[in-house]
Amino acid sequence: MPIFEYRCTECGLHFEKLVRTAEDGDSLSCPSCGSQQLRKEFSTFSARSASGKGETPAPMCPSGGMCPTGTCGLN
């Protein structure tokens, strides 16, 4: 079951939604304003490789990678 990203053309909210069937995608509405005027966004993905010999792991953000301000300098 894919997770799609949408942007509401009315209020601009960006959100993700698990879409089980094509019919579920057709009946979506914005969780903020209720509008059904949605645009499907391109999704990005992240891949992790298994740490092999000789690889140095990337430094971790002290907040676990969820630094909202970017003050850790690792964003």
The count of structural domains within the chain is 1
Tokens 């942007």 found at? 7
Domain that holds residue 16: 3-41
Give, for 6, the enclosing helix (H) or strand (E). Answer: strand 3-8
Q: Does residue 70 form part of some domain? A: no
Q: Does residue 48 form part of some domain? A: no
pLDDT tens sequence across 16-58: 988 887 767 678 999 999 999 999 987 766 666 655 555 565 5
Residue 4's nearest CA partner among 13, 15, 17 is 17
18's tokens: 């698990």
Q: Does residue 7 form part of some domain? A: yes
pLDDT for 55: 58
